[in-house]
Structure 1
């Protein structure tokens, strides 16, 4: 049994803590199927920063509270104010984008643990994660065409990183719901598992990742992100620096020593 260290949250509807080497970020508004109001969107960047800055955390999991949803999207009841005009809509969209970027740019792996509804902004949060593991009761959809709003460009970029342009267009043009098997087939998620096996599956995945070399994982994530975003002109100085940090690390020496001694390495991230 590991000790749980709670992280102070700016809002009661978001919870965060460290359990062993895993950091948890929970969307905690189950009475509204974890629909995110503006305060919740604004809480994501500082909470992700706190989780990413904890040296004992090697992997982060994002999940929804309650039995019904990962997140049913943004809180539509706020749209009369937050999207009352183009200026207000742009400001609100920037808040969304800052949340997506805080997840996508975290230097540690981020896993979305998905059950129930994963709709709109909720799906965008999941897409900002590095991996998506879903229960077989999960439901996915992008409904902006039913609301008359433009989907954020950053959200579209993340969608296109997971599925083909044709599938992305179909999801947005039709706004239809996909079940877990359809989502798996299209590449929207990495795995679909039985609902009662979801938490165990994610915890095992997180433990596997946490046991590997943190600097190698960090370098790999940031390199893949850079090559994906700028395939024609990646920041080669950044990529070379990330590689050098691995080869100059104590973890690299530990990995070689453990191999020679025929034992499991114990990585510390330095």
Structure 2
């Protein structure tokens, strides 16, 4: 069964989008990502809260189906196409729609927030976590070269040393560490999470919309200008990521994930 995005209006001026894919720990599949992009392009609420169901925010890309359906006897080209379809295009569209949303967005991290789920949360204006969750980036455990646009977001938020630690070690960090690093803005008890997120959203919704949208645009453009790459370098980085989709190590990383065992890397 595909996942879904539940929509409700818990307060005046606030729309809540809830990721629901409980059988896969709220993994981000095509249905969820497409729906998020669609909703964020059409909503006009002064504040949006993004959260998850069943004690989880999101476990990241839905690579479970990929490991079952595509790795086995698939050729490298077939696997590469399927992998890129999953972790690139629909995810990029959802992220772009979230970043372009003109008004305030708050991520209420209702449980563990991993991989693409963490980038989704980092794309919101504010993040509130409860004190029992873990946050992490596992590309190094999967053999995945992450997008340069995604990595830039982490460099802007938490700096170079912590981005290296997060991506190169591939370990999870607890909520208190995430607060110190700047990955989240607030940490509260689990029972307080939704109320705190809604309080922030209501306050944001009550502020001047021209100010919110204008200041978001200024921040976005300043960050974009600071992170601008030479076009030739950007093409090289895109080629590096595309080559990763065709690598034996990514196939092995996904297979090992599905089989719940350590990967046997071949560096090719």
TM-score, normalised to structure 1, is 0.75
2:139 pairs with 134, 137, 144, which one? 144
Q: Quick check: 1:62 aligned with 2:57?
A: no
C-alpha distance in 2, partners of 1:120/1:165? 18
Q: Corresponding residue for 1:77?
A: 64
Q: Corresponding residue for 2:244?
A: none
* CA-to-aligned-CA distance 1:58-83 (integer Å, 9 cap, x gap): 1100000122x111111121334679
Contact kept, 8 Å, 2:4 with 2:32, in 1: the verdict is: yes
Q: Corresponding residue for 2:201?
A: 206
Q: Go from structure 1 to structure 2 and tell me whether the alpha carbon gap of 1:114 and 1:143 turns closer, same or farther (over 3 Å shift).
A: same
Pairwise CA distance, 1:18 = 3.1
1:74 alignment partner, SS class: coil
Pairwise CA distance, 1:203 = 1.1
Q: Corresponding residue for 2:29?
A: 37
Q: Corresponding residue for 1:118?
A: 113
After superposition, the CA RMSD in angstroms is 2.0
C-alpha distance in 1, partners of 2:216/2:154? 17
1:15 pairs with 6, 9, 23, which one? 6
C-alpha distance in 2, partners of 1:232/1:155? 11
Q: Corresponding residue for 1:90?
A: 84
Which 5+ residue runs of structure 2 have no aligned equivalent?
72-77, 229-268
Pairwise CA distance, 1:167 = 0.5
1:1-270 to structure 2, matched below 5 A, reads 13-19=4-10, 20-51=12-43, 54=44, 57-67=45-55, 69-80=56-67, 84-92=78-86, 93-231=88-226
C-alpha distance in 2, partners of 1:88/1:226? 33
C-alpha distance in 2, partners of 1:144/1:21? 37
Which has more radius of gyration?
1
1:230 alignment partner, SS class: helix
2:191 alignment partner, SS class: helix
Contact kept, 8 Å, 1:136 with 1:192, in 2: the verdict is: yes
1:184 alignment partner, SS class: helix
Q: Which has the higher contact order (CA 8 A, sep 6+)?
A: 2
Q: How many residues align?
A: 218
Which 5+ residue runs of structure 1 have no aligned equivalent?
1-10, 234-270
